[in-house]
Amino acid sequence: MAKRIGLFICWCGSNIGGVVDVPRVVEETKNYPGVAFATDYKYMCSEPGQNLIISKVKEHNLDRVVVASCTPMLHEPTFRKAIARAGLNPYMFDMANIREQCSWVHSNDKEAATQKAIALVKRALAKVSQVEPLFESSIPITKKALVVGAGIAGIQVALDIADSGHEVILLERESTIGGNMVKLDKTFPTMDCSACISTPKMVQAAQHPNITIMTYAELVDVQGYIGNFEVTIKQKARFVDHTICTGCGLCTEKCPTKVSSSFELGMGKRKAIYIEFPQAVPNKPVIDPDNCRYLKNGKCGICKKLCPVGAVDFEQKDELIEEKVGAIVIATGYDLIKWEEIYGEYGYGRFKDVITGLQFERLVNASGPTNGLIQRPSDGKEPKTVVFIKCVGSRDEAKAKEYCSRACCMYTAKHAHQVIEKIEGGHAYIFYMDVRTPGKAYDEFYRRTVDEGAQYIRGRVSKIYQSGDKLVVMGADTLLGSAVHIEADLVVLATAMVPTEGSEKIAQLAGVNIDKDGFFIEAHPKLRPVETMTGGVFLAGACQGPKDIPDTVSQASGAAAKVAALLSNDQMATDPMICHIDEKMCSGCLVCKEVCPYKAISEKTITERIAGQPVERIVASVNTGLCQGCGNCTVACRAGAANLKGYTNLQLLSEVDALCR
């Protein structure tokens, strides 16, 4: 049947019409083969404009439409919906961008712009002559979510998804949930005790009927696609049976082995059998196999002897567990940059009294290694002069990270306040480049700290060295224009936030991208901050970029809302502009499988009858749920068996043809 194309050229007010001679474009293109109706209008995307399209489709019995206007990124969905309302398949449509790619960039040469517009319209007409109706398909959804990481982000995501009625697995590789937040003492700007506000949420998560917490467990494999993931989790051997253990703590008391605690950031020790901190969830110990005397040398075993319920089990093995989920949320959080490897001017970590902000939190924390007393790690004495240095590793394009770590200005002000409050005769000096305190009640908090007597010095520190038992801090005061030397008792560095160790591996498993700094990339920085480019995988918290607790919790709820929306359907529609494999032409070489960035292609065995005999052979098979229509396979396929619907080889060739004439 002959094609009947409707051509609608937009003026877009004067955006297009002021540069391109629109009536002339109509004249030059209305007789293109296949065009049954052509017109122009001032604002095609407006309601009258859309109604014009709909009425003309009906009036002239059009079977496909071209709109020449702005970028498809803006109004392709608008016009597709319009022609769908007119009764056409929404994919019987193409757009010619004669604004962003024509009138807006060639505004100084109207003749050339008009010529280009004519060519672009012809291209669209050639393409639309070759389009076929496309139909979205649907796939079922597993109504369960996996949250990777159980810091405050992961906990909040899990609680919100669980409250919306769906099941959640909350996965955490440490022995307790809580993440970095539980290491903190007080949180700005309210000075709420961190444990006091996070532990209720931790307990809520533990008790929620829809949440299954898996601690001391890691994600090791992800297969499948949105709505239908198959994940493999490794439950590491705890060597303590948590179904029997009562959490009495006798084992941890009597264990003879002490090792440096990573929870205390090297400022304190724990035992080989340990509970990470007093409010841990679950509040039951695990045994560290690298340091346990029994597991290493067969000696000791005192915990097993003393346990009143016989919960210690040295025979436990790692277990692999498979789960099906419909959505994955990555909430793996942050670590601090290894500043000791970079900043020789601050001593490369040799000076015990130069510590990070997080280590300072452990000192001030009442359940920390010094029971809440601010003491110098070197000699245990109370420091009187504390120097804070901000932007260590952040905003440093020469040696470390270019970005700002966002939370440090607030927590440094908080620490300075704590020094002044807790240490009699204490002095706090803060070397800064800027003070960034934009949140609610943040600037007031910073001002109060200044009013209390914290001394902010604008300038960098070029060197810290030990002189006797003092640390000499050599810095600059750029507002005064002079050098400043301070003899400090303690120096606290506000170090850069970086993605946690192991983030890269999680990114690979989940099939999401990370940026040059290792943070997970969101689908769009402004408009889609909790989704990724991979369908069904979402982000929450500092793993996506440095942020503080209020922003983390907000983003976590946002991610949960997206997951809840996804899981609220029984089925989901998929974009029909995906790869199609012509099995007759496919030789089964599977090069397409190698180049697919979304792991959407797998091998399939088909049976054909050749010369009367059934023959089995391998061909490529596209998972319509995973395929994002990137076209890599179409390019890679040597036989031409892979073709992208909506951008078929024939359609593209006809566009080239039209432009070359």
**Per-residue binder mask for other proteins (CB under 8 A), 417-456, x = binder:** ----------------------------------------
Instruction: Report the residue from 283, 466, 602, 648 that binds other proteins according to the rule CB under 8 A.
Output: 466
459-477 in b/e burial notation, b at 16+ Cβ within 10 A? bbbeebeeeeeebebebbe
Pick the binder of other proteins from 463, 505, 524, 528 (CB under 8 A).
463
Stretch that binds other proteins, among 77-85, 359-367, 449-457, 458-466 (CB under 8 A): 458-466
Q: Find the shortest distance in angstroms from Cβ 342 to other proteins.
A: 10
CB atoms under 10 Å from CB of 557, counted, come to 17
CA 161 – CA 329 distance, rounded (Å):
11
- Among candidates 146, 151, 150, 149, which has minimal Cα distance to 167? 146
Judged by beta carbon, residue 341 or residue 570, the one nearer other proteins is 341
Place of tokens 């955006």: 15
> Least distance in Å: CB of 344 to other proteins?
2
Exactly one of 73, 136, 348, 657 binds other proteins (CB under 8 A); which one? 348
Which range of residues in 33-41, 340-348, 358-366, 598-606 is near other proteins by CB under 8 A?
340-348
Tell me the window of 134-142, 437-445, 461-469, 503-511 that interacts with other proteins (CB under 8 A). Answer: 461-469
CA dist., res. 560 & res. 329, Å (int): 8
- In whole angstroms, how close is the CB of 335 to other proteins at the nearest point? 23
315 secondary structure, DSSP code: T
Minimum gap (Å) between residue 462 Cβ and other proteins = 10
**Shortest Å distance, C-beta 378 to other proteins:** 15
* Nearest distance in Å: CB 209, other proteins: 56
Residue 432: enclosing H or E segment and its boundaries?
strand 427-432
**Cα(326)–Cα(307) distance, integer angstroms:** 41
135 binds other proteins (CB under 8 A): no
By CB under 8 A, tell whether 345 contacts other proteins: yes
Instruction: Confirm or reject binding of residue 465 to other proteins (CB under 8 A).
Output: yes
Interface stretch with other proteins, choices 165-173, 203-211, 341-349, 376-384 (CB under 8 A):
341-349
Part in contact with other proteins (CB under 8 A); list of ranges 222-230, 344-352, 417-425, 516-524: 344-352
Residue 349: CB minimum distance to other proteins, A: 11
Q: At residue 133, what is the residue type?
A: P
Distances from the Cα of 184 to the Cαs of 371, 372, 554, in angstroms? 13, 11, 19
**DSSP tally for the chain: helices H, then strands E:** 17, 34
Judged by CB under 8 A, the residue of 467, 482, 607, 613 near other proteins is: 467
> Binding residue for other proteins (CB under 8 A) from 344, 502, 525, 597?
344
- Contact region with other proteins (CB under 8 A), list: 79-87, 338-346, 363-371, 374-382: 338-346
What's the min distance (Å) between Cβ of 428 and other proteins?
24
Q: Which amino acid is present at 177?
A: I
Alpha helices in 234-373 (DSSP H): 250-254, 293-297, 302-306, 357-364
Residue 76 burial (10 A CB sphere; 0-12, 13-18, 19+): middle
Q: Is 230 in the site for other proteins (CB under 8 A)?
A: no
Cβ nearer to other proteins, comparing 347 with 511: 347
Contacts within 8 Å (CB) and 24+ apart, 11-17: 11/40, 11/41, 11/42, 11/43, 12/42, 12/43, 12/44, 12/69, 12/70, 12/99, 12/103, 13/42, 13/43, 15/70, 15/99, 15/103, 15/104, 16/69, 16/98, 16/99, 16/102, 16/103, 16/117, 17/42
399 vs 524 by CB, closer to other proteins? 399
HSE of 649, CA atoms in CB hemisphere, 13 A: 15
Entry field: residues in the chain: 661
Supply the minimum distance, in Å, between the C-beta of residue 384 and other proteins: 22
The closest alpha carbon to 309, from 214, 257, 242, belongs to 242
Judged by CB under 8 A, the stretch of 136-144, 366-374, 423-431, 460-468 that binds other proteins is 460-468
Residue type, 351: F
Tell the smallest beta-carbon distance from residue 345 to other proteins (Å). 5
The answer to whether the bond into 33 is cis (omega within 30° of 0) is no
Pairing of strands 490-495, 354-356: parallel
Q: How many residues bind other proteins (CB under 8 A)?
A: 10
Stretch of 136-144, 410-418, 459-467, 541-549 contacting other proteins, by CB under 8 A: 459-467
Pair of tokens at residue 153 = 């982000």
Residue type, 52: L
Q: Which is nearer to other proteins, 467 or 482 (CB)?
A: 467
| Angstrom distance (rounded) from CA 79 to CA 198 | 48
Using rule CB under 8 A, residue 140 touches other proteins? no
Q: Is 81 in the site for other proteins (CB under 8 A)?
A: no
Region near other proteins per CB under 8 A, out of 28-36, 107-115, 342-350, 626-634: 342-350
Q: Is 341 one of the binding residues for other proteins (CB under 8 A)?
A: no
Residues near other proteins (CB under 8 A): 343-345, 348, 463, 465-468, 472
